[in-house]
Structures are given as structure tokens and as C-alpha cells.
């Protein structure tokens, strides 16, 4: 299987490149940032591609059988910063995949798509979205594209709401949201390997954390994702681990001032 991997130079992409290559996946990786040839796995291709360039994205998809779409701005930012990579880029990836006959897309969504949900509310992915900012809202747009391309064109799409992707938990929130490197590779591999015909499914990208807000839902069961790691093993090392959780699942990300755009001057008449 030849798999296109966008956003390959990022944190998640770097771990997936190593893990998926080790299992024999032929990767055609891309990013707006170059990756040195010496850092590529055996047989891995790499192309510098700007996702806002539809022609370049179409060329990237030629001959591929699946795509993992990680590319984009990965945190809160002003709308103008997010719009190109996260809105236009997501559309270009889905549409280029359809036109190239790529039947499976694994879309990197985010737990921030439900960051305004309360921490006492377990979520499986069936609930309405409640993004904690513009970044989460762009991920909701991507999931809407995923549902449309699955329903209208028969593609299989897995939307993975990635949790706190870290080598190990570093703050109390991660006891509920941590996604280990090992489980991340297993999750994306499961999304690639699941038998065809499931349409669009949503999976929270989270390890088997004792304090998880996201119990295994129908999407995880459909693709056969069974996480192995538990953030609780690191709880003793985290200051404040025994304190009450924040009211909202987004924690600090849900603060009105986070990202800065809400406090920035708004254009006025004549400016």
C-alpha cells in the first residue's frame, strides 16, 4: 500500500513515519518544511507541498491507495492564519484523493473539537461538536468534509480526534487525554488496515487511560483500535495530579484569551 502522509515533518508525522515504515508501509510524505534525505526511511518518498496549492496536492495523490492527512496549523491562531492550511488545504486533500481514486482517508482531527464539553461528560464521538476555539472549529469543518465525502462519494474516512500526543504525560490534564507514541502508531495503522465499507467513523485518539474522558466508542471498535498504555503510570510524577480537573475538557485552551485573536483589534470602517 502506498500511503500519502501530509504534515510529515511535525511531531505526529515524525513518529508515524518511523512506525508505519517499520511495518512495511510505503510512504509518500509531504510537508511545507523539507526533511533531510538522511532522515527518510528506506523506500520513503518526500515532496515539499503547500496544501493551499491544489495542483501540487493532486500530483501528490497520483497512484496512492490511502492518505493520512496531518498537515495544517496545529494550534489556536487568527482566522487568516488557519484558513489556508486548515480549510482550503483540507478540501484540496479530500478532493484530490477523490479525483485520484484514493478510497481511504485518515483525517487528523483534534480533541479540541469538543474542548467546551465538561470533564464530567464521557464522549464517544457521537455527540455534537463544541470546539474551544477557531482551531477546533476548523477541525469540525474537516470532519464535515469527511462525512460528506464518505456519504456522497463512498470513501472510507476515519476522523481521529488526537489527544495529547506526548512521549509521556507532562501535566495533570494528560492523565485523561494522553496518546502515547506506541498507541498513536497502532491507531493510525488500524485506520489503514480496517476492512473497507465503513464510511465515516470518528475515533478519539487516546491511550487506555484510567481517567480518560473518552471511553472506546463505536468508531474505535469498528477499526479494531485497542490502546495499550495508561497515563496513570506517570501520575505520581505530576504535581497536582490528585487535584480536581478543570471544568472544561479543553482546559487552558478554552480560555477566551487563548491564541490572542479574540483580544486583537477588529477592523473598523475606513481602516
**Residues belonging to the active site:** 135
Task: Give the Cα separation of 155 and 134 in Å (integer).
Answer: 27
Amino acid at each position: 500500500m502506498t500511503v500519502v502522509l501530509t504534515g510529515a515533518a511535525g511531531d505526529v508525522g515524525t513518529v508515524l513515519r518511523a512506525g508505519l515504515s517499520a511495518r512495511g508501509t510505503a510512504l509518500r510524505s509531504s510537508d511545507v518544511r523539507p526533511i533531510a534525505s538522511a532522515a527518510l526511511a528506506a523506500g520513503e518518498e518526500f515532496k515539499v507541498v503547500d496544501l493551499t496549492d491544489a495542483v501540487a496536492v493532486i500530483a501528490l495523490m497520483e497512484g496512492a491507495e490511502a492518505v493520512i492527512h496531518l498537515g495544517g496549523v496545529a494550534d489556536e491562531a487568527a482566522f487568516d492564519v488557519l484558513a489556508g492550511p486548515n480549510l482550503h488545504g483540507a478540501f484540496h486533500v479530500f478532493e484530490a484523493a477523490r479525483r485520484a481514486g484514493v478510497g481511504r482517508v485518515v483525517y487528523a482531527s483534534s480533541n479540541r473539537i469538543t474542548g467546551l464539553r465538561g470533564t464530567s461528560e464521557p464522549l464517544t464521538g457521537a455527540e455534537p461538536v463544541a470546539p474551544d476555539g477557531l482551531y477546533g472549529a476548523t477541525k469540525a469543518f474537516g470532519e464535515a468534509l469527511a462525512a460528506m465525502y464518505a456519504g456522497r462519494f463512498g470513501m472510507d474516512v476515519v476522523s481521529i480526534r488526537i489527544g495529547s500526543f506526548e512521549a509521556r504525560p507532562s501535566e495533570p490534564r494528560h492523565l485523561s487525554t494522553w496518546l502515547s507514541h506506541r498507541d498513536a502508531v497502532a491507531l493510525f495503522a488500524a485506520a489503514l488496515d480496517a476492512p473497507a465499507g465503513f464510511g465515516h467513523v470518528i475515533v478519539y485518539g487516546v491511550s487506555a487511560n484510567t481517567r480518560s474522558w473518552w471511553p472506546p466508542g463505536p468508531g474505535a471498535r469498528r477499526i479494531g483500535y485497542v490502546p495499550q498504555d495508561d497515563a496513570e503510570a506517570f501520575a505520581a510524577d505530576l504535581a497536582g495530579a490528585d487535584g480536581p480537573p478543570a471544568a472544561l475538557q479543553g482546559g487552558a485552551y478554552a480560555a477566551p484569551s487563548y491564541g490572542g485573536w479574540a483580544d486583537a483589534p477588529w477592523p473598523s470602517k475606513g481602516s
